[in-house]
Amino acid sequence: MEKLAQKNYAPTGMAPAYSYIMMTLQDENPQTINDLSSKLGYDHSTISRMAKKLADKELILQSFSGRTTLLQLTKEGENFLKVANVCSKKIEQTTATVFGKDGKKQLVQDLIKAYSGLKKNNTNNS
């Protein structure tokens, strides 16, 4: 799946995870790093590192208040999202073609179940 995502998101010029962050910001703008971390399941430090790269490319603005970092889309970020959203639609069509509607639904359920199990296992090992 990751190779498929990399291929489909190649037009953005960035790894797929950057598009996921940007699309999550598009859904609710602005958001904190903690919000994005919770929604996407990435470590706080990962979101922070990726946000810096997005800010360096002027796709987002970062504002700091104490220990909270707020991320907000820029006009350049909105342009990036036009490409990312086309990529998202393309990968959605590809997975629907490859897996079919029922197969795709089952795959998503299996991935959620596996993620939940890994998350639970990591919590128990901490």
Whether 53 maps to a domain, the answer reads: yes
Whether 57 maps to a domain, the answer reads: yes
- State the pLDDT at residue 121: 66
Q: What is the mean pLDDT of the chain?
A: 87
**Could you tell me which residue, 123 or 23, shows the higher pLDDT?**
23
Whether 103 maps to a domain, the answer reads: no
| Beta carbons within 8 Å of 22's beta carbon, 6+ residues apart | 54, 59, 60, 73, 77, 80, 81, 84
Q: Which domain holds residue 28?
A: 2-98
Whether 82 maps to a domain, the answer reads: yes
pTM of the model: 0.79
CATH number, position 58: 1.10.10.10
Report pLDDT digits (tens) over 85-120.
Answer: 999 999 888 777 777 767 767 766 777 777 677 666
Whether 118 maps to a domain, the answer reads: no
Q: How many whole angstroms separate alpha carbon 80 and alpha carbon 24?
A: 13
Give the chain's domain count.
1
